[in-house]
């Protein structure tokens, strides 16, 4: 396959940045999207150019490092898929593909497609934890947890913090991320003592970071590679109003 890429290039955080066009030839349909970029980068290095910077780590779809807006959609149009698990067979030969970083004021661009997601870390630091000496793992049946709660908590816990929800939200809101963490801890017995203070602290930190407000568009959950459901946001609102 041959592709035309339009990639966002930005040398430094202060650089103005621009879209640059690249032709990539002989792309195998079995390559992942990141492997396709690796091939382009090897050529750029051989030609003495600066390779395109992008975040990646596990390349198994579970670490949350990778992420780029492909043709206007966070992680590309393939549903419930991280960029690293997106394969080139989903693209047509000869297609033009636009690649941009997550766009949000709280996620400043570091270089090219790499953004600084420390804002998420600060939201977690504000309350996304359980302050009890956990010790060794207790017996699984020592504290009974309702099956529905366990399932919902586990669904929320699959959030990998990639930031696609923010990138896709027309309001630049981080509600789905924050809600996933609040729901995950708030539904389990260990999370109960700090449930109210956690919801308040994390939502306040989210607003402080400069993320937008939620208007229930549902764009976040549609692009989420882990399919975090929208009702986590209702759970967050419930806990926040109670706090």
Least distance to other proteins from the beta carbon of 159, Å?
A: 16
Least distance to other proteins from the beta carbon of 212, Å?
A: 4
User: Which residue lies nearer to other proteins by CB, 106 or 191?
Assistant: 106
Six-digit token pair at 221? 């959950």
Angle made by CA atoms 160, 163, 165, in degrees to the nearest 5: 105
User: Is 243 exposed, middle or buried (CB count within 10 Å of its CB: 0-12, 13-18, 19+)?
Assistant: middle
H helix runs in 52-174, sequence order: 118-125, 147-157, 164-168
User: Which residue lies nearer to other proteins by CB, 158 or 237?
Assistant: 237
User: Which residue lies nearer to other proteins by CB, 134 or 241?
Assistant: 241
What angle do helix axes 118-125 and 175-186 make, rounded to 10 degrees? 30
User: Which residue lies nearer to other proteins by CB, 45 or 234?
Assistant: 234
Contact in structure between 159 and 228 (CB atoms under 8 Å): yes
Least distance to other proteins from the beta carbon of 10, Å?
A: 10
Can you give the binding site for other proteins, defined by CB under 8 A? 6, 8, 19, 69, 71-73, 77, 98, 100, 103-106, 168, 170-173, 210-219, 221-223, 229-231, 233-241
Least distance to other proteins from the beta carbon of 140, Å?
A: 25
Neighbours of 194 (CB within 10 A): 17
């Amino acid at each position: 396959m041959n592709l035309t890429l339009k990639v966002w290039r930005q040398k430094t955080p202060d650089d103005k940045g621009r879209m640059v066009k690249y032709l990539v030839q002989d792309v195998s349909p079995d390559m992942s999207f990141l492997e396709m970029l690796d091939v382009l980068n090897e050529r750029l290095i051989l030609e003495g150019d600066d390779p395109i910077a992008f975040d990646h780590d596990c390349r198994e779809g579970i670490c949350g490092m990778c992420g780029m807006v492909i043709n206007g959609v966070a992680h590309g149009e393939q549903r419930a898929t991280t960029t690293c698990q997106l394969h080139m067979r989903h693209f047509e030969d000869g297609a033009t593909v636009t690649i941009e970083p997550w766009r949000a004021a709280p996620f400043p661009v570091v270089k090219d497609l790499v953004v600084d997601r420390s804002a998420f870390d600060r939201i977690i630091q504000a309350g996304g934890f359980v302050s009890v000496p956990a010790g060794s793992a207790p017996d699984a049946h020592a504290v009974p947890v309702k099956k529905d709660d366990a399932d919902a908590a586990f669904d929320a816990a699959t959030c990998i913090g990639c930031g696609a929800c923010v990138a896709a939200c027309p309001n630049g809101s981080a509600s789905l991320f924050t809600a996933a963490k609040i729901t995950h801890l708030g539904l389990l017995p260990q999370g109960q003592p700090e449930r109210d203070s956690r919801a308040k602290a994390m939502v306040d930190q989210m607003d402080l970071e400069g993320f937008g407000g939620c208007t229930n568009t549902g764009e976040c959950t549609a692009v989420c590679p882990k399919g975090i459901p929208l009702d986590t946001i209702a759970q967050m609102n419930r806990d926040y109003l109670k706090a």
